[in-house]
């Protein structure tokens, strides 16, 4: 079974600064995928970034990068140059294994990010 842990219920950051949101995961499967989603107050779920377990390089998408440390089983999200519109709930999630296990995302409890002007 997979497990995602997000230990920061809330984070604050000043506009234009960088922020790191923590995520650790647990799985015994060698093949897995790690995802970050953003949920603004309007409620929709927005995909941000993906990292595969066999990817050699850390994933990047614009201002988002994923700091993937396989040995530590961590997949932290780094947001550079924070903007007011980044204020939202951020979820780390994973899929793992073959067969039925892949047919779902297992989510962490989320981190509520507030960007201050």
Q: Which residues bind other proteins (CB under 8 A)?
A: 31-33, 35, 37, 39, 43-45, 47, 50, 52, 89, 91, 93, 95-97, 100, 102-107, 109-110
User: Residue 105 has what DSSP assignment?
Assistant: P
Rounded CA-CA distance 17/54 in Å is 30
Nearer to other proteins, 58 or 97 (CB): 97
Residue 86 sits at φ, ψ, to 5 deg, of -80, -10
Q: Closest approach of Cβ 18 to other proteins, in Å?
A: 24
Smallest gap from Cβ 10 to other proteins, in A, equals: 12
For residues 14 and 114, which CB has a smaller minimum distance to other proteins in the complex?
A: 114
Nearer to other proteins, 46 or 81 (CB): 46
Closest distance of CB 57 from other proteins, Å = 15
Best CA proximity match to 88, nearest among 24, 21, 40: 40
CA R_g for the chain? 14
Q: Which is nearer to other proteins, 12 or 54 (CB)?
A: 54
The minimum distance between CB 43 and other proteins, in angstroms, equals: 5
Which residues does 90 contact at the CB level (< 8 Å), separation at least 6? 21, 36, 37, 38, 39, 48, 77, 110, 111, 112, 113
């Amino acid at each position: 079974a997979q497990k995602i842990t997000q230990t920061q219920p809330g984070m604050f950051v000043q506009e234009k600064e960088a922020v790191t949101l923590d995520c650790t995961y647990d799985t015994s499967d060698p093949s897995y995928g790690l995802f970050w989603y953003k949920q603004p107050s309007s409620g929709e779920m927005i995909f941000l970034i993906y990292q595969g377990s066999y990817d050699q390089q850390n994933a990047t998408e614009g201002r988002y990068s994923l700091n993937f440390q396989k040995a530590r089983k961590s997949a932290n999200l780094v947001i550079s140059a924070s903007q007011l519109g980044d204020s939202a709930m951020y979820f780390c999630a994973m899929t793992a294994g073959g067969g039925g296990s892949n047919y779902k995302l297992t989510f962490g409890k989320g981190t509520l990010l507030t960007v201050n002007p």
